[in-house]
Amino acid sequence: MKNWNHILDKLRTTINRQGIDTFHVLEDLVPLEEQMEYFKYFDDLKERKVRFVRDSEIEMLFSPDVSIGRKKECLAVLSSIPDVKAYRAIETYQSSPLEPELKNWSSIALLGSRIGLDSDLSGKPQIYISSGLGGQDKKLRFFTLFITKSQEDEFTDFQKKLVEREFRFQLEGADIKIEAFEIEDNYFTILFLFPFKTDVRAILQSTVEECNQYGNFLDDKFLFTNVKVFNDEEIQELLDNDLKID
């Protein structure tokens, strides 16, 4: 959690210092590894100064006879130019890709193309925030896991009602959109979207403290990540291994 706080604070400082009005975040849930693969591939094309003809690339993108590898290149090179026709071509392909395995690749290419257009039209610098859980509009998506003070203890009915009431009240009051709220026997998880400039950590911590006034039953350390959503099996493995989650 401390690492993410440091990263978010550093991003906020950079954006404010450089006077950046707009940042972009991938709305789809694309694994960070695949995002990194795309950007490495994209940078390699730029370094090699690959030459291409826009209309020919668009034609190949929609051809059933072109290999997946070549279509990856089509998407990357088309996203490299601030061109409306190239953007619309990527957008059309991404909405219903002929090759389902290129769904994520085309989503990243579409965002890259949008950033290029925005930068070209506005003349202002743009920033991309990479996240495995993506985001929406100007909000980032994060996953949190909270556990009971003693992992062997289970929530009472009163405690379940309390944590849901308090967390919903505090988060929604700060313009944070809760997408999923799941309460199990000895832990609960929240998947939410929060405004980039909001110090969500402070809100979460203060809510834990508020709940703990009624019995000190929540661990004050919690998992806070935008890498992935942990399923029940993965969470149980964390608990079984007594993994530190601060």
pTM, rounded to two decimals: 0.75
The pLDDT of residue 186: 93
The pLDDT of residue 240: 79
- What is the mean pLDDT, run by run of 10 residues, along the chain of 246 residues? 58 61 76 89 90 96 95 96 96 94 94 89 75 82 92 91 97 95 95 88 94 94 89 87 56
The pLDDT of residue 61: 97
The pLDDT of residue 167: 97
The pLDDT of residue 9: 65
DSSP 99-124: SGGGHHHHHHHHHHHHHHHHHHHH-S
75 vs 98: CA distance, rounded Å: 13
What are the Cα distances from residue 142, in Å, to 1, 17, 45, 229? Answer: 11, 25, 32, 8
7 vs 71: CA distance, rounded Å: 34
47 vs 6: CA distance, rounded Å: 32
Q: Which of 96, 135, 126, 116 is nearest to 15 (CA)?
A: 126
